[in-house]
Amino acid sequence: IEEMYAVASRLMRPLLSWCRAQEIAIVHDLAPSTSQIARGAASLPVAVAVSDTAIEAAGSCVDGGDAVIRRMIQPGSGVGFRTLRVGEGNDSAIVVLFSKRQAISWFISSGSEKDKTDAASRLELMQTRRVIEPIDMKQLVIGKSGVFAGGVDLNGEDIRYRFVDPWEVEALESKEGEFMGAVLGREAYTTFSVNTVAKACETAIRKLGGLHLLGLWTLSKGGICLTKALASVHPPWELDAGSDLQMRGGKATQPSPYINSIRQHLYRNALFRRLDLPQRFLALVQVELLDLKNLTAPGGSSSLTAYAMLRLKRQGSGAPLTLKARTLDSASTQPRKIGKSSGPNAPASWGSLVRFRFPLPEDVHCDGLSFDRDREALFKGPPCELQVSVYEKKFMSDIFLGGADVKLDALASGGQLEEWVPLRAAGSDGITWFARIRLTLRFELMCLADKK
C-alpha cells in the first residue's frame, strides 16, 4: 500500500503543483486592487465648474450627498429638524425629519444650486442614492388634530426626508426575516438565488467560451462552486492566509474578533464586486435574554412580568431607550412573566430572543472606513455595542429595573458570547439586577437587487 501511495504521489504531484501555480497566477485578476481596499480621500472624484477663464472646484464638491447633509445640519442653516413618532402605542418609533421646502431654499441660499429646479434635482439624486429617504406625510395615519409628536404640523407640508445610515440596523420580527429581501442602508437586497447568480455569470461565460463553455459551466454548477469559494476565502492580512502578526511598538495590534469578522466579509464582498457578481454578505446579531437575577432578595426574587428594549448602536451614543423614545432600529420583547426562583439568589428563566441585521456598505474599504470623508464623519463605522433597558410591566406605569451597554468586541463570526450583565438604574449607584445574555454573530449571503 505504501508503494502504491508513493507511486500515486509522484504521478499527482506535478498536476497539483501546476494547479497551485495557476491559482497563484490568477490572484491578481480576482483580488480587488489596493484602491478598492484602501482608498485615500485625495483620490476621490471632485466636481468642477468650467468657465471661459478657469477650471475650479464647484460649490458642492462631493456628489454623494453626505457633504450636503453635513453642511445642512449646522446651526443657522435655516433647515429645521423635527421629531416624528411613527406607529401606534408600543409599536411607535421616533424619526428625525427635515422639510423638502426648507432644503430647496437652503440649496439656493448657500449657492449650491441656482434655482428650485436644480435644487429639486439634487434632492432626487440624493434620494436615488438613498442618502435620504422621502416620507410622504399624507400617507401616514394621523390623529384628528393633524399634528405629530415634536410639533410637526402636516396641514401645510407634503414631503419630508430622513437621513439613511449606510450601516442601518433592522430589527427582525422572526427567523424567516433573516432571509427576506429588504431595502436596507443604501442598497436593496433580495434573497439569495441560484438563478440570479447564474444570470450574472452568463454574460462573462458567453464572452469567454460561447455556448459550449456556458453549457459546461451550467452542468458543473460553476456559479455555486464560485460562490462557495469566494465566501470562504481568507483575506491576505489574516494569519490563516500566511500573513505576519501585526505589531506596533513591539506589541500585537490585532483588531477585535468582532471587527475582524466584519473586515473579513467586507473583503469577500469586494471580491464579489470585483467580478461584477450580486452576492453580498449581511451581518446578523442574535440576542438571547436567558435569565434575570435580583441580588437584594436573599430568599429568591418574587415573580414579575418583564420586558426589554434593545438596539445596536455605535460607541458614545447615549440616547435613551424607552417605549416613548425609541428609534426605528430598536426592538422590544414581549412582556413575559418570570416565576419566583427557587433557592437564594437563583436566576429566573426569561427566554426572550431578538434578531438584528445590518448591511456591509459598498463604498468602504476593508477596514470599514468610508471613501467619503463627510460620510465617515456622519456615520462612523458599524454598530459595536448592544444597548439594553429592562422594565417591569405594571398596570399604570412601568418600572425601570436598569440598563447596560454591552460591547461586542469579543464576538466572532459563527461564535457566541454569553455573560452576566449588571443593570444600572438611573440615579442609583448600586446594582440590583443582573441579566444573563447570549450573543451570536453570523453573516447571511444575499444578492443585490437589480437597479434596472
Highest mean pLDDT: which range of 102-106, 220-224, 440-444: 440-444
Q: Are 298 and 432 in contact (CB under 8 A)?
A: no
- pLDDT surpasses 90 at 285: yes
- CA-based radius of gyration for the chain: 27
> Measured on CA atoms in the order 234, 277, 41, 126, is the torsion positive or negative?
negative
pLDDT: which is higher, 361 or 338: 361
Sequence-separated (6 or more) residues with CB below 8 Å from residue 262: 283, 360, 368, 382
CA distances to 297, 326, 350, 405, 435 from 424, in Å: 17, 19, 19, 10, 11
- pLDDT surpasses 50 at 221: yes
Cell 455573560, residue located: 419
User: Residue range 347-360: average pLDDT?
Assistant: 86
User: Residue range 96-109: average pLDDT?
Assistant: 90
Q: What percent of the chain has pLDDT over 70?
A: 75
pLDDT for residue 85: 72
pLDDT for residue 151: 43
Give the CA angle between residues 167, 100, 127 to the nearest 5°.
Answer: 40
pLDDT: which is higher, 271 or 253: 271
371: its cell numbers: 471613501
Highest mean pLDDT: which range of 149-163, 291-305, 362-376, 436-450: 436-450
User: Residue range 299-305: average pLDDT?
Assistant: 68
**Helix residue ranges, H only, 26-156:** 27-30, 34-37, 66-72, 100-109, 116-128
pLDDT for residue 44: 45
Give the CA angle between residues 331, 334, 338 to the nearest 5°.
Answer: 125
CA atoms within a 13 Å half-sphere pointing along the CA-CB vector of 80: 9
* pLDDT band (50, 70, 90) for residue 56: very low
| Annotation: CATH topology of 71-164 | Arc Repressor Mutant, subunit A (1.10.10)
Give span(s): CATH 2.60.40.150, the chain. Answer: 279-448
DSSP structural state of residue 220: T
pLDDT for residue 226: 87
- pLDDT surpasses 90 at 442: yes
The count of residues in the chain is 452
Sequence-separated (6 or more) residues with CB below 8 Å from residue 350: 289, 290, 291, 292, 306, 336, 338, 435, 436
pLDDT: which is higher, 144 or 33: 33
- CATH placement of domain 279-448: 2.60.40.150
pLDDT: which is higher, 17 or 342: 17
- pLDDT surpasses 80 at 450: yes
Q: Strand ranges (DSSP E) for 63-186?
A: 81-86, 93-99, 132-136, 147-148, 152-153, 159-163, 170-172, 182-184
Q: Are 443 and 283 in contact (CB under 8 A)?
A: yes
Give span(s): CATH 1.10.10, the chain. Answer: 71-164
CA distance 142 to 140: 6
CA distance 99 to 293: 47
pLDDT for residue 168: 93
Average pLDDT over the chain, rounded to an integer = 79
Q: Are 85 and 93 in contact (CB under 8 A)?
A: yes
**56-70, 89-103, 225-239, 257-271: segment of lowest average pLDDT:** 56-70
pTM of the model: 0.80
pLDDT for residue 112: 83
User: Residue range 347-353: average pLDDT?
Assistant: 76
Query: For 63-86, how does the pLDDT look when each residue is reduced to its tens digit (9 = 90+)?
Result: 568 888 888 888 888 888 888 776
Sequence-separated (6 or more) residues with CB below 8 Å from residue 196: 190, 278, 447
Query: For 127-164, how does the pLDDT look when each residue is reduced to its tens digit (9 = 90+)?
Result: 989 999 988 666 554 433 333 444 444 444 568 899 99
